[in-house]
Amino acid sequence: MSDSNAGNQTPRTPRSVTENDNVVEGTPVQQQALGRTPAAAASVGRERRHRDGGGRTPRSRSRSVSRSMDLSGFPLTPVNNNGTSAGTNPVLSGRSPGGTPSGLLNTPMRSDMGHNHSGQRASPILFRRRPRGERDATTPGSVYTPVNNRIGGMAANNSQSNSLLRTPSVSSGSLQREEQGLLMEDPETTFVWGTNVNVAEAQSRFRRFLAHFQGARARPAVRTYMSGQQQQGDTNSLDSMDLGVEADLEGPKYPSLILDTIRRGESSIDLDCLDLHSYDEELYSQLISYPQEIVPLFDIVMNEVAAGLVQQDEGMRQQYSGANATDEAGNLAFRLQVRTFNLREVKTMRGLDPTDVDHLVSVKGMVTHVSSILPDLKQACFKCSVCGHTPEPVYIDRGNIQEPQKCQVCNSLNSMILLHNRCLFSNKQQVKMQETPDTVPEGETPSTMATYVFDDHVDAIKPGDRVTVTGIFRALPVRIASRQRNLRSVFKTYIDVIHVEKDDPNDTASFLQSKISREAAGTVSEADEDDTVVKYTEQEEQAFKEIAQSPDIYARLVKSLAPSIWELDDVKRGILCQLFSGTRKGLQTGERLRSEVNVLLCGDPGTSKSQLMSYVHKLSPRGIYTSGRGSSSVGLTAYVARDPETRELVLESGALVLSDLGVCCIDEFDKMSDDARNALHEAMEQQTVSLAKAGIICTLNARTSVLASANPAGSRYNPGQSVVENLRLPSTLLSRFDLIFLILDKPDLASDRQLARHLVSLHNPAGEQDTRTNDDIISLDMLRSYILYAQQMCKPKISDDAAEALVNYYVEMRRMGTSAAGSKVITSTPRQLESLVRLSEALAKMKLSKTVEVADVDEAARLVKVALQQSATDPRTGTIDMDLIQTGVSSSLRQMRYKLEQDIRGVLSKASGRTMSSSVLLQDLKETLQSQAPSVNELWEVLQQMSDSGRLNIRGDQLALA
Amino acid sequence: MTGSGLDQRVGNPVGFVRERFQEACGGTGGNTSSNPQHQHQHQHQHPPPPQSFIPGVREAFLPYLLDPSRKEEVPCLNDTSSEDITHLPDGSLVRYIGMVRDMLNPEYFTGAYRKDGAWQTTKYQDFAKDDLSEASETVMWERKPLFCVAVTGEAAWVRPGAEAAKHQLEEMEVFSSDRKRSAPDQEEGVREDGDDDAMMECDPAGQAKRRVGGKGGCCAAGESCCGTQQQQQQQQPSDDSMMEVDLGTKVNQNEGEKPCLVKIYETADESGAPAPGLEGVKLNDVVEVIGVLGVDPRLALFQSGQFQEGEEVTQEDLANNPPASQVPRVHVIVGRKVQCYQHLMEEKFARNPVALALRQDKAKLEAARAKAVDLVARHLQGDRLAAEYLLIHLLSSCRRDAGANTGIVVGKHALNLTGSHLSGKECAALEALLRSLVPRCQSLPLSLQKLNAWPLWPRKDYRVSRLVGGPLLLADQTHLLLDETQLKEGQLAQVGVQNFQALKNLMENQTLEADFQFYRLPIPCNVPITVVSTTKSLLPCDTCVQIKPQHQQEAAAAGSPSEADLNEIRAYLAHCWLLDYAIPEEVSSVLQQDFVQQRQKDPRSVGAEHFHRTLTLSRLLAQSHGEGTLTVETYKKFCHMEDLRKAAQS
C-alpha cells in the first residue's frame, strides 16, 4: 500500500532504484493526492527537466493522466469517455481526496497477472479476439500518434501499461499493437484463447452477479491487520463498511461494498468466491480454471459497475467530479481491482498437483521468509546518451526488456541508457511459505512453497504469520541456461498471489495488532469482541447437537478429555468446566464479571499433570503453554519493546494476553518467580493486563483462564500440612482459583488393579484391547470445535430453581463451617459463589442447554466440594476452612494462637518483675497446659507476633509484657 | 515381454519403460508404434496420457526387488567394494538402500510430450530425449525427491559387500574426529564448490560453461563473473552456520558412501490405490529401491529459468540440485521400506544353517544365548548380571499404541551402565562390541564441549531449504550409545541445555523434535539408548545397572570371538527380536496381583512407570530365551534379576 503512491509516472518507486526523493513510503493516500503532483514525482532527473522544459508542466501531465484514465476507461458508463481531448483540466485540483493519482496507476497494475509464463503454451496471446470494450479500455490507436509521442508520452505509457498489466496479454505488448486491426470484431464471438469461455458472456454474467447477489453480511476486511500504518483508517473503514452493510441488509451485497471501497479510497475489492459459487457455479469454475483471463475481465466489469454506481450516488458524484471543473474524468477517480478469496477448497501445499497449474488455488501455510522488495520493471524508458532522444518506452516481453540497439534519431549504436526514474515498476516480494504443522503427516517434513505478492500486499505479511493465500499456481520451466531455449524437463513452481488472508486466531502478530488497534480506537464493546466468529454449516451444527443430546454427554466428554490419562475424572471435569467457561456478563456499570474458570492442579511429581496440561493446550482455541520456571512477569503480561528497524515503540504481548479468550497453561507454577506471579493477580481476577511503561499506558484484555500446576514445596505432598503450607503460594493468588485439585499418588487397591490391567493390555499386543470402547470417545478435533461452538453459541441463563439451589448451597457451605468447628470458621466466600455460578454455567454449556438447571448446580457444588475437601481442609481439625485459602492461616490455628497468647500473658503477669526467659516460659507452659503445650516453634511464632504488635518486649532472652 | 525383455530391463530400463508407455498410449489406436502410418492417422485422437502411471512397468521390475536371485543382477549403489559402481553410466538400472534424511518439495516435470505426433515420456529420466520446446503438447507430472544417505551407524557386517570389521575403527574415527577432517559428503560438496571455485555456481548471465569433473565434484570457471555474486560466494563459506550445515550430514555419514536423491514417482496406481512399497515413507525410514540411475553431468548446470536476472540461482536451488557426481539420482521404479531385523533375516540368515537351527532347537538357542552373555560379560569386566541386562536391552524395541488418541510409547527402554572404573576406553570397546552384534549402532560422546558445540536435533536450514540432520536422527533400531564418562563439571550453554532436552525427550518419548523455525515437529523414533557413566546418569534412564568388576574373569577377555561365534550371536539376536509376543491371561492376573501388592508396600517407588518397565523387561527376558509368551517363571526370574541389581547398587 505504502509503495504505490509515488505518483503517476512512477507508481512503483522501489527504494533501491528511485532517485525520487519525493517518495515517502507509507504516506497516506490523501496526503499524496493533495501534496504532490505527478510532475513532481516524475521530474527529478535534472537533465530531463531541462530537456522537457515546458512540455512537462503539470498541465500537460495532468492531461496525460486524464487521458490515460479515459483510455483505460469504461465505455458503458454514461459519462463522457471520449477523453482524448487534449488540454483538459489539470489533474492537480481534480484529484479528490479519494487518492486518484495513486489509484489510477496503481490499480490497473495487476501485477499478479503480470507474469506470463511462457510455459508450454505456444503462444502467449490469450485472447484470440478482443472485445470492443476491452480494446477501448486498453490500446487506442491515438496513443501512438506522433503528437503524443513526446508530450503525451507518459499517457501512452500509462495506457499501455494499463492494458499490459491488467490484461493477461501482458507479455505481448508489441503483439497487441499489431493486432489492433483485428480487434474490431464482435465481442460476442470472442473467446479466451484455448477455451470455450466467451468473453462477453463471462462479463455479463459477472455484471449480473454484482448487481444481484444478495449478501447477508460482508466479511470483515482482513486488511485491517495487514498494514500497521493504516490501522486507524481501517478501523474506521471497517465500521463504515459494517454500517453500510447493515443499512441495506436486504439489498445486493456488492454495490454497497464497491461504494464503500471507493469512499475509503481503496483500490481493491475482495470478492468472496463462495458468493460467486452460490450465484453462478459455471462462472466460478471458469474463474478457477482460467484466472489469468477471467480476473482481468472481472476488473473491467467491476470498474464499469463502479463508475455507474458513482454516477447514481449523489454524494459520490459530487465528491468525485465536483471539484473537477469540466467533469471530464469524474467517474474515473478510482480504479478497482478484484481480489478473489475464500475459494471452496483450501488446499494444503501437499495437496497441490500438476492439474492445479495455472488454476486459481487457495493454499494455507505459514510464512517463513519474506524477501526484500523487488522492483519489478514493467516498462522501461531509454534515452540515447548521444543525442538525448527518448524513444517510446519498451514493455516487458516474456520477462525480457528489449533494449533498442540503435538510436532512431542519431543512428548511433548501443547508446541507450535506462532512465530508472521514468521506468514503470511495481512492487513485488517473494514470500516463502511452509506447511502448518497440522497438515504435515507424522514423520514427514513440511513442504515449502514460494509465492510472489504484489503492490499493497508487499510487506503486509511477516515471517511467522499463518496465511491463506489465493492466487494463480504457476510452473515455470527451468532452463539449463537462461539464454538457452533448451529446457530441462523440470519446473519451478510458485504462486502469484491475488489475495492474502491472515486466518489464524492463534496468529500472535496480527491478533495483537488487531487487538491493539481496536482497543486504541476505542471501538471495543462486548458485542464485537468475539472477533473470530466462525460460521457453522448446518451439518456441523447437527453434529454438535447430536453430541449434545446423548444422555451421557458429560461422561463422554470426561472420557474424551485426555483419554490416555488414567483416572483423575474429577480433575478432568474441572478442566472441562474451564474449557467451556461461564457466560460472559457485563454489568451495566461497565464492570465485567469474570466468566473464566481458573484451575490449579497440585500434586506429586509423576501424576501426569503436565500431560493433562499439554492436552488442554492443544484443545483450547488460543492455548498458550508456558513453564513457570522460565517465565518472567513481562513474558506473561506484555512489554514494550523498541522495534529494531523503525525504532518505534511497540507493544509485545505475553502469554496471558495472547491467550485472551483461551486457556493459559502455566506449568511449574510453584517455581515461578514472585515477580512473575504477582503479574497474575490482576489478570486472574480483573481479566486485564495493565501496562504503564515507556510512554505507553494501556490496559489489554486478558480474558484468559489459567490452568496452573504446581508441585508441593517439599516435592512430595505432606498430608500433615495444609495445602497452603504445602504449596507455599501466596493465599491472595490461591483464592483466585475456582478449583484447586490435589492429585495425590495414593495407593488404592481397586484403582491400582485397574491401572495394572490397563498397562498389561498395553504391553500385550495380542491381548484384548483396552476395555474402553473407542466409539465413546470424541475425537480431539471434534471436541475442540464442539467447545468452540458451545462457547460461541451457548449462553445459558440461570433458571429460578437453579438460582435458588445456588443460594442454598452457598448458605449451606457457609453454615457448614460454623456448625463443624463451633464458630468463626468460614467455608465459603462470595468468590466461591461466583465460582459456583461459573461452573454451573459451564456445565450447562456442555449440554448446549439454554438454561442452567438444578442438576448443573448440584454437580458444580459437588466439584467445588471435592476440590475444597482436598485443598481447604485444615489438617488439624479435618474441617473445611476457607480461611486457609483466604489468609493462609486456618482459623483453628488462629484460635490456638490466641489461646496461647492468653496463657503467655497469664504466666508472664504472674512472674516476678514481669520478666522471664523464654526457656523458663516454655517450662512453665508445659507444666500448666500439660498435653496441650505448644512446641518451641509455635511458641516462638506467637511471641514474635506479640512482639511485632508491641504487646511484648523482648530484650535478649528476657521477655516482658509491654 | 519376457525373454529378451529381461535383459532389456537391466540393460536399458528407460527403453523398456518407453516401450510400455507407447503401448499404453497407442493402445486405443490398435497397434503401436510399429505402424507409423496408422498412428499418424490417429494422432489427433490420442489423448494425452491421463496419469503418470504406466501399466506393466512396476510388475516387470518387482522381481528385482523381491527375488534374491534376480536382485544380484542389479548393481547396488551401496556396494563400496566394487569400483565399477562409480562408473555406471547414466540410465543404468541400480539398487540402492538408504535412510531418508530429508524430503524435498515435489518436483513438477514434463512427464510426457508429443513430438511429431507421437507421445514420448520422460519418466524415470532427468532429461528429455528431444528438445522440449519443439514438442507440440506436453503433460506435467509430479515426482517426490527424497534425500537419502547411507544408513547411519550401520555395522560393517550388514553392508552389502562388507569388508569385515576393519571398518569399525575408521567409523569411530569419523565420528569423533573433528569435523574439518571427516569424510566428504554432499553438503560439503556443495559448499566446497563455493569455496574453491567461487565462480562455479553461476554467472549472472547464465552463460558460464561449466565442466563437471568426473569425480572430485563439479568445478569450472565462468568466463565472466559478476563481482557481487563472487563476493557472495566467498563470504558464504566463512559463515559459521554454514559450517553447521556440513556438520549435520557429516556426522551421519559413513565413509565412502554417497548420498542419493531418490525420486519417487506415482503414489497411486491405475485404480487410485496407493502404490505398495513406499507409501507413507517417513524421515528416518530406510528404503530399498530399484530404479534408473541419473548421473548426467548436465544436472550440475542448474540454472533456473527466465524470471529475472539476479534472482536466478538460489542456495536452495543449488542444495536441491547438487552435482550428480556427488549426489546421484535414482528414479525409483519399485521400492519398499526396509525393516531392520526383517531385512537382516532375509538377507543374511534366511538360508543360514545356524539361524535355522536356532529356530528349531531350543537347546541351540540357549547355547547361543550363553555365548552372547559370555561375550558381553567379558566386555563388562565379567559382570554377568550387567551382561544379562545389556543383552536383553539389545532386544528392546518400542511401539506406539495403536489408539490414535493416546500416543503412548510402549516398550521403550534406556539402560544406564555405571561403574567408577568406566572411561572412554571401555566405552569404545563396548561400542565395538555392539557394532559387531547389532546391525545398527551409533555412539555419541557427551562431553561438555561437544554438547555445547552444536545442536544434536535436526533443524531446517532455510537458506538452502534443507533439513540439517542432527546426529540424533537415526534409523529405527539403531542402538545409541551415549558416553557420559567424558562429562565434567562446567557450564552448559543454551545449545547444551537444549541438547540435553532433546536427549531426554528421545529417551522418554522416543521422539525427536525437528526444528522448523516457527514450530517443531516430533519425529517418531525407535532407538534403544545405552548410557555409560561413572555414576548414575543425568539422563532419565529406565534401568540403572552398576557394573561390579569380577577380577578372576578378566583374563578371559583377551581372546576376541571368532566370526562364526559372532554370526551365531547375531542370528540369535535377530531371531529373538523378531519373535511375536503375548501375555497370557493367567500370567496377566499374576502380574496385576503382584503390582497391587507391591504398591501397597511401597507406594512411592512403585507406580505406573515402574510397572511399564517391569512389563518391558519381562518381555525382553522372555524373548531372549526364545519364548513368545510371558510365563510366571520368566517373570519370577526377572524379579530375581531386579533384586540382584538393587543389591548390587546399594
Stretch A470-479: mean pLDDT:
81
Calculate ∠ Cα B117-B122-B125, nearest 5°: 155
pLDDT in tens, B442-486: 888 888 888 888 788 888 877 777 787 778 888 888 899 988 888
Q: Which of A148-152, A269-273, A579-583, A693-697 has the lowest mean pLDDT?
A: A148-152
CATH class of A197-210+251-343: alpha beta
With 60 as the cut, is the pLDDT of residue B85 above it?
A: yes
Please indicate, yes or no, whether residues B553 and B625 belong to a single structural domain of this protein.
no
User: By the 8 A CB rule, do A598 and A705 touch?
Assistant: yes
More confident residue, A759 or B35: A759
Give the pLDDT band (50/70/90) at residue B53: confident
Stretch A17-42: mean pLDDT:
35
Q: Which range in A42-46, A54-58, B386-390 is most confidently predicted, on average pLDDT?
A: B386-390
Please indicate, yes or no, whether residues B573 and B618 belong to a single structural domain of this protein.
no
Amino acid at A480: I
User: By the 8 A CB rule, do B333 and B124 touch?
Assistant: yes
Instruction: Judge whether B437 lies within some domain.
Output: yes
Average pLDDT, chain A: 65
With 80 as the cut, is the pLDDT of residue B640 above it?
A: yes
Stretch A131-145: mean pLDDT:
33
Q: Is the CB of B462 less than 8 angstroms away from the CB of A432?
A: yes
pLDDT of amino acid A933: 66
Q: Is the CB of B109 less than 8 angstroms away from the CB of A491?
A: yes
Please indicate, yes or no, whether residues B473 and B586 belong to a single structural domain of this protein.
no
Q: Which of A197-201, A212-216, A227-231, B537-541 has the lowest mean pLDDT?
A: A227-231
To the nearest whole percent, how much of chain B has pLDDT over 70?
A: 69
Please indicate, yes or no, whether residues B587 and B537 belong to a single structural domain of this protein.
no
Pairing of strands B459-461, B466-468: antiparallel
pLDDT of amino acid A53: 35
Please indicate, yes or no, whether residues B213 and B66 belong to a single structural domain of this protein.
yes
More confident residue, A227 or A312: A312
Best CA proximity match to A107, nearest among A363, A285, A306: A306
d(Cα B77, Cα B85) in Å, to the nearest integer?
6
Please indicate, yes or no, whether residues B64 and B205 belong to a single structural domain of this protein.
yes
pLDDT of amino acid B257: 54
Please indicate, yes or no, whether residues B200 and B328 belong to a single structural domain of this protein.
yes
pLDDT of amino acid A318: 64
With 70 as the cut, is the pLDDT of residue B395 above it?
A: yes
pLDDT of amino acid A818: 52
Give the pLDDT band (50/70/90) at residue A399: low
Q: Which residues of B touch A434 (CB under 8 A)?
A: 516-518
Residue of B312, B519, B596 with shortest CB distance to A749: B596
Which domain, by its residues, includes B92? 8-182+196-338
Q: Is the CB of B410 less than 8 angstroms away from the CB of A763?
A: yes
Instruction: Judge whether B393 lies within some domain.
Output: yes
Q: What does DSSP assign to residue B46?
A: P
pLDDT of amino acid A397: 63
Average pLDDT, chain B: 72
Q: Does domain A890-961 have CATH number 1.10.10.10?
A: yes
- Domain end: B562, B577, B592, which one? B577
pLDDT in tens, A286-322: 888 888 888 888 888 888 888 888 877 766 666 655 4
Q: Which residues of A touch B298 (CB under 8 A)?
A: 480, 488
Count of the separate structural domains present in chain B: 3
Distances (CA, A) of B41 to A86, A542, B48: 60, 58, 16
More confident residue, B66 or B174: B66
Stretch A704-708: mean pLDDT:
82
In angstroms, the separation between the Cα of residue B58 and the nearest Cα of chain A is 22
Instruction: Judge whether B552 lies within some domain.
Output: yes
Please indicate, yes or no, whether residues B115 and B14 belong to a single structural domain of this protein.
yes
In angstroms, the separation between the Cα of residue A441 and the nearest Cα of chain B is 9
Q: How many CA atoms lie within 13 A of A783 on its CB side?
A: 25
Stretch A126-142: mean pLDDT:
35
Residue of B467, B604, B615 with shortest CB distance to A445: B467
pLDDT in tens, A242-251: 333 333 445 6
Q: Which of B197-206, B320-329, B580-589 has the lowest mean pLDDT?
A: B197-206
Q: Judge whether B399 is closer than 8 Å to chain A, CB to CB.
A: yes
Read off the pTM. Answer: 0.66
Please indicate, yes or no, whether residues B457 and B530 belong to a single structural domain of this protein.
yes
| CATH number, residue B395 | 3.40.50.300
Stretch B110-124: mean pLDDT:
81
Cell matching residue A20:
525520487
pLDDT of amino acid A366: 83
pLDDT in tens, A420-458: 888 888 888 888 888 887 788 877 888 888 888 887 788
Q: Residue B390: CB partners within 8 Å, gap ≥ 6?
A: B376, B380, B415, B417, B530, B545
Q: Is the CB of A760 less than 8 angstroms away from the CB of B588?
A: yes
In angstroms, the separation between the Cα of residue B129 and the nearest Cα of chain A is 10
Task: Using CA coordinates, name the residue in chain B closest to A749.
Answer: B596
Stretch A872-885: mean pLDDT:
56
Q: Residue A333: CB partners within 8 Å, gap ≥ 6?
A: A94, A95, A96, A98, A100, A103, A310, A320, A321
With 80 as the cut, is the pLDDT of residue A152 above it?
A: no
Q: Is the CB of A482 less than 8 angstroms away from the CB of B516?
A: no
- Domain end: B577, B600, B618, which one? B577
pLDDT of amino acid A775: 59
Please indicate, yes or no, whether residues B350 and B325 belong to a single structural domain of this protein.
no
Q: How far apart are the first and last CA of chain A?
A: 78
User: By the 8 A CB rule, do B156 and B123 touch?
Assistant: no
With 80 as the cut, is the pLDDT of residue A559 above it?
A: no
Instruction: Judge whether B546 lies within some domain.
Output: yes
Q: Which of residues 466-525 of B touch A (CB under 8 A)?
A: 467, 514, 516-519, 521-524
Q: Is the CB of A777 less than 8 angstroms away from the CB of B304?
A: no
Q: Look at chain B and count its residues.
A: 650
How many Cβ atoms are within 10 Å of B274's Cβ, its own excluded? Answer: 12
Best CA proximity match to B411, nearest among B423, B400, B426: B400
Give the pLDDT band (50/70/90) at residue A334: low
Q: Judge whether B410 is closer than 8 Å to chain A, CB to CB.
A: yes
Give the pLDDT band (50/70/90) at residue B304: very low
Q: Which of residues 124-183 of B touch A (CB under 8 A)?
A: 125-128, 131-133, 135-142
Residue of B110, B306, B516 with shortest CB distance to A479: B306
Edge-to-edge strand list for the sheet holding A958-961: A915-917, A958-961, A952-955
Residue of B125, B595, B604 with shortest CB distance to A752: B595
Q: Is the CB of B581 less than 8 angstroms away from the CB of A491?
A: no
Q: Which residues of A touch B311 (CB under 8 A)?
A: 374, 430
Residue corresponding to grid cell 492439474: A355
User: By the 8 A CB rule, do B416 and B456 touch?
Assistant: no
pLDDT in tens, A575-602: 888 888 777 766 555 566 777 888 888 7
d(Cα A155, Cα A68) in Å, to the nearest integer?
5
pLDDT of amino acid A306: 83
pLDDT of amino acid A643: 60
Please indicate, yes or no, whether residues B115 and B237 belong to a single structural domain of this protein.
yes
Residue of B285, B298, B582 with shortest CB distance to A480: B298
Give the pLDDT band (50/70/90) at residue A571: confident
Cell matching residue B92:
543404468
Ordered DSSP codes for A584-650: -EE-TTS-EE--PPPEEEEE-TTSSHHHHHHHHHHHSTT-EEEETTT--HHHHSEEEEE-TTT--EE
Residue of B206, B591, B596 with shortest CB distance to A481: B206
Please indicate, yes or no, whether residues B570 and B583 belong to a single structural domain of this protein.
no
With 80 as the cut, is the pLDDT of residue B249 above it?
A: no
User: By the 8 A CB rule, do B568 and B437 touch?
Assistant: no
pLDDT of amino acid A116: 41
Residue of B207, B401, B521 with shortest CB distance to A762: B401
pLDDT in tens, B509-551: 888 888 887 778 888 888 899 998 888 888 888 888 888 887 6
Instruction: Judge whether B373 lies within some domain.
Output: yes
pLDDT of amino acid A253: 77
Burial (Cβ within 10 Å: 0-12, 13-18, ≥19) of residue B201: buried
Calculate ∠ Cα A585-A586-A592, nearest 5°: 95
Task: Using CA coordinates, name the residue in chain A closest to B135.
Answer: A120
Give the pLDDT band (50/70/90) at residue A215: low
Q: Which residues of B touch A779 (CB under 8 A)?
A: 404-405
Q: Judge whether B5 is closer than 8 Å to chain A, CB to CB.
A: no
In angstroms, the separation between the Cα of residue B608 and the nearest Cα of chain A is 8
Instruction: Judge whether B2 lies within some domain.
Output: no
Q: Is the CB of B588 less than 8 angstroms away from the CB of A764?
A: yes
Q: Superfamily for A344-516?
A: Nucleic acid-binding proteins (2.40.50.140)
pLDDT in tens, A714-726: 666 666 666 667 7
With 50 as the cut, is the pLDDT of residue A179 above it?
A: no
pLDDT of amino acid A634: 64
Task: Using CA coordinates, name the residue in chain A closest to B297.
Answer: A480
pLDDT of amino acid B83: 62
Distances (CA, A) of A771 to A749, A758, A774, B168, B406: 19, 8, 9, 49, 14
Q: Which residues of B touch A491 (CB under 8 A)?
A: 107-110, 140
More confident residue, B553 or B22: B22
Q: Judge whether B282 is closer than 8 Å to chain A, CB to CB.
A: yes
pLDDT of amino acid A883: 58
- Domain end: B294, B319, B338, which one? B338
Q: What does DSSP assign to residue A505?
A: T
Burial A760-796 (b: 16+ CB within 10 A, else e): bbbbbbebeebeeeeeebbebeebbbbbbbbbeebeb
Q: Judge whether B588 is closer than 8 Å to chain A, CB to CB.
A: yes
pLDDT in tens, B574-621: 888 888 888 888 888 888 888 888 887 776 677 777 888 888 899 899
With 80 as the cut, is the pLDDT of residue B233 above it?
A: no
Give the pLDDT band (50/70/90) at residue A931: low
Give the pLDDT band (50/70/90) at residue B276: low
To the nearest whole percent, how much of chain B has pLDDT over 90?
A: 1
Residue of B305, B311, B523 with shortest CB distance to A443: B523
ipTM of the complex: 0.75
d(Cα A182, Cα A179) in Å, to the nearest integer?
5
Q: Is the CB of B206 less than 8 angstroms away from the CB of A483?
A: yes
pLDDT of amino acid A465: 73
Distances (CA, A) of B390 to B393, B417, B614: 5, 9, 15
Stretch A672-682: mean pLDDT:
75
Q: Judge whether B607 is closer than 8 Å to chain A, CB to CB.
A: yes
Instruction: Judge whether B190 lies within some domain.
Output: no
Q: Domain-by-domain residue ranges, chain A? A: 197-210+251-343, 344-516, 890-961
Instruction: Judge whether B188 lies within some domain.
Output: no
With 80 as the cut, is the pLDDT of residue B508 above it?
A: yes
Stretch A787-815: mean pLDDT:
80
Q: Is the CB of A487 less than 8 angstroms away from the CB of B280?
A: no
In angstroms, the separation between the Cα of residue B50 and the nearest Cα of chain A is 11
How many Cβ atoms are within 10 Å of A188's Cβ, its own excluded? Answer: 11
Q: Which of A111-125, A304-318, B358-372, B635-649 has the lowest mean pLDDT?
A: A111-125
Give the pLDDT band (50/70/90) at residue A507: very low
More confident residue, A71 or B274: B274
pLDDT of amino acid A228: 37
